[in-house]
């Protein structure tokens, strides 16, 4: 059976075919769709959204310790959150197959940084696979499970945005039988206290040597001989680009890319006159080959910043053939018009940021839709660091005795991800920050996934709806208030009062994501031109439904959802609902 699948859909199919029975993840582009596809196999695979990547990793790891085959999925920055259990799971190993599918985002299409997940595989001394197509994405999961079970090791499968989101034909197969599950009590194997961790450390090195030999012998790594003047070494999506730009060159294609297949690299090097290493982001492979005493070129020509593409590699080829190393600098695309990101028309976060922008406070934020509160005309957000950091950073600035008050803001999904511990820290260590949870009842930025506060599981079952207010109380916060972000006078009043309070406070701004609910809040608005004084106050909301420029503003009826924030900021009663006019 042949299907047209994206890379993420193929990963999910591969998990099903491999006999996986447990899958856990926290959503993050470009990995989100993997679990959304796994849920189509929920009759065979238990799958869940975890509160964060560390929890997802621990769930999957424990399932594999009990003998089940499991996958966990996350984006590259999510692996930072899960790095703690990863490093020790490398020592403990697994019984059933365990694969962490980690999607990197070269070019930062939807991420706060670029990271090369291969570094984590090397750091943890575990194998990594890099598929280059949807077919390989599916098939490699089955193979990676076998490697995981044979060598009793966790395995990383590294995807990138292009692999995850590109579609191609995939030949599908039947599902194989899942493992029998039964945890066996064996403390010397499963408990890494120093007495038992020291021999585990030795076994990690012994396993790494065996895996290096396995990588050299693996059918997933292959030499494609053509013209011997140039040999190119590539893995993952870069292999596809290389085949397009250098169709005549010999290629060493790596899919089982770490541990580095030294024997195969030496064999390839002996067959070609020159070697060019084409790798996206870091130059791990190039540095390793040079350390082996094999001459090669790479970073002098291949950019290490941003996403590669056939177009960029065509420029690399021209520079290589001219013998003029290219300057490895990042040049953003300039052939597209600038489009500043804005909150959606009717987004409830707009009311909170409008209120915050009128206060003289430092505002620390987080990763999510509310990061858009940084931009003009709202200008409300001052710092963003990482998931959950919006709360913790507010405490840090507060304790540094910053002269201005501090407000930390996170979303509801991010609150459950890792904001709770920051709030607990504020309650415990007597902080004095104002914290806002912008609760829009979903994980909006990644595509409306459920989380512990929505009362619904990934598998569609109703469940406990975690209360942000109750968590606040449990963390020791006594001042807890809710506000309606569509009521601007109330929002500004509450924000002002809580910032002035001489104790920590938690504000919960409750308003559903209009993009998810697809419901109009009120009647479509319009501008009464004879009342409009062109003061520009309505434009300060940054609502994409209000079209300004020269002359009097207009309300785009195709975008307006009737939230009436514009009507509230207009002092001249010039913006009203059509139903009222």
The residue with tokens 């540095």 is 287
Q: Do 555 and 527 meet the contact criterion of CB atoms below 8 Å apart?
A: yes
How far is CA 314 from each of CA 241, 309, 319, rounded to the nearest angstrom? 9, 9, 9
Which helix (H) or strand (E) covers residue 358, if one does? Answer: none
386 belongs to an annotated ligand binding site = no
DSSP helix/strand/coil, 569:
helix
344 belongs to an annotated ligand binding site = no
- Token digits of residue 553: 């503003």
How far is CA 381 from each of CA 363, 366, 433, 507, rounded to the nearest angstrom? 5, 9, 15, 16
296 belongs to an annotated ligand binding site = no
- Token digits of residue 221: 């790594």
Cα dihedral across residues 103, 105, 111, 114: positive or negative: positive
Verify cis geometry, omega within 30 degrees of 0, for the bond prior to 377.
yes
566 belongs to an annotated ligand binding site = yes
Burial class of 194 by CB neighbour count within 10 A (0 to 12, 13 to 18, 19+): exposed
The residue with tokens 């990061």 is 371
Q: Do 541 and 566 meet the contact criterion of CB atoms below 8 Å apart?
A: yes
Angle (CA) 535 539 545, round 5° = 135
In whole angstroms, what is the distance from residue 290 CA to residue 292 CA? 5
Q: Do 71 and 60 meet the contact criterion of CB atoms below 8 Å apart?
A: yes
538 belongs to an annotated ligand binding site = yes
Residues annotated within the binding site are 532, 535, 538, 543, 560, 563, 566, 570
Binding residues for [4Fe-4S] cluster: 532, 535, 538, 543, 560, 563, 566, 570
């Amino acid at each position: 059976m042949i299907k047209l699948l994206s890379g993420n859909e193929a990963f999910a199919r591969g998990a099903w075919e491999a006999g996986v029975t447990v899958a856990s993840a926290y959503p993050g582009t470009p990995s989100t769709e993997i679990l959304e596809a796994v849920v189509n196999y929920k009759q065979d695979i238990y799958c869940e959204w975890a509160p964060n990547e560390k929890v997802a990793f621990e769930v999957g790891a424990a399932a594999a310790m009990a003998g089940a085959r499991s996958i966990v999925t996350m984006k590259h920055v999510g692996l930072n959150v899960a790095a703690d259990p990863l490093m020790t799971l490398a020592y403990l190993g697994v019984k059933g197959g365990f694969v962490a599918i980690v999607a990197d985002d070269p070019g930062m299409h939807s991420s706060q940084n670029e990271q090369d997940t291969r570094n984590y595989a090397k750091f943890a001394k575990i194998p990594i696979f890099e598929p280059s197509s949807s077919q390989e994405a599916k098939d490699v999961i089955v193979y990676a499970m076998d490697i995981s079970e044979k060598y009793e090791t966790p395995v990383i499968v590294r995807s990138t945005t292009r692999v995850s989101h590109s579609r191609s034909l995939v030949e599908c197969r039947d599902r194989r039988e899942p493992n029998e599950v039964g945890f066996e009590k064996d403390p010397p194997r499963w408990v890494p206290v120093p007495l038992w961790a020291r021999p585990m450390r030795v076994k990690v090195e012994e396993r790494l040597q065996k895996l290096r030999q396995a990588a050299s012998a693996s059918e997933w790594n292959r030499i494609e001989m053509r013209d011997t003047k140039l040999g190119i070494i590539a893995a993952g999506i870069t292999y596809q680009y290389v085949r397009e730009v250098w169709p005549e060159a010999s290629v060493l294609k790596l899919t089982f890319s770490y541990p580095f297949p030294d024997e195969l690299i030496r064999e390839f090097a002996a067959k070609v006159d020159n070697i060019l290493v084409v790798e996206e982001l870091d130059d791990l492979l190039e540095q390793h080959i040079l350390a082996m005493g094999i001459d090669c070129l790479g970073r002098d020509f291949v950019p290490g910043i941003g996403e590669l593409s056939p177009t960029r590699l065509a420029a690399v080829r021209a520079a290589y053939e001219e013998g003029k190393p290219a300057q490895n600098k990042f040049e953003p695309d300039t052939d597209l018009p600038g489009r500043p990101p804005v909150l959606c028309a009717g987004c409830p976060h707009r009311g909170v940021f409008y209120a915050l922008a009128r206060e003289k406070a430092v505002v620390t934020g987080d990763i999510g839709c509310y990061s858009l509160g940084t931009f003009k005309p709202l200008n409300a957000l001052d710092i963003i660091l990482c998931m959950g950091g919006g709360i913790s950073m507010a405490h840090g600035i507060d304790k540094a005795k910053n002269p201005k008050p501090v407000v930390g803001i996170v979303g509801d999904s991010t609150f459950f991800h890792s904001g709770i511990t920051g709030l607990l820290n504020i309650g415990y260590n007597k902080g004095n920050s104002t914290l806002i949870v912008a609760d829009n009842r979903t994980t909006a930025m990644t595509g409306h996934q459920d989380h512990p506060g929505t009362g619904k599981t990934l598998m569609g079952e109703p469940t406990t709806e975690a209360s942000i207010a109750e968590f606040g109380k449990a963390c020791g916060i006594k001042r807890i208030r809710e506000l309606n972000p569509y009521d601007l006078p109330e929002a500004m009043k509450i924000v002002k009062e809580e910032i002035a309070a001489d104790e920590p406070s938690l504000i919960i701004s409750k308003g559903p994501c209009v993009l998810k609910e697809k419901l109009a809040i009120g009647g479509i608005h319009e501008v009464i031109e004879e009342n409009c004084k062109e003061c520009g106050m309505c434009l300060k909301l940054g609502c994409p439904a209000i079209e300004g420029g020269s002359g009097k503003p207009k309300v785009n009826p195709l975008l307006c959802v009737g939230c009436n924030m514009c009507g509230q900021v207009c002092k001249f009663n010039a913006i009203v609902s059509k139903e009222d006019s």
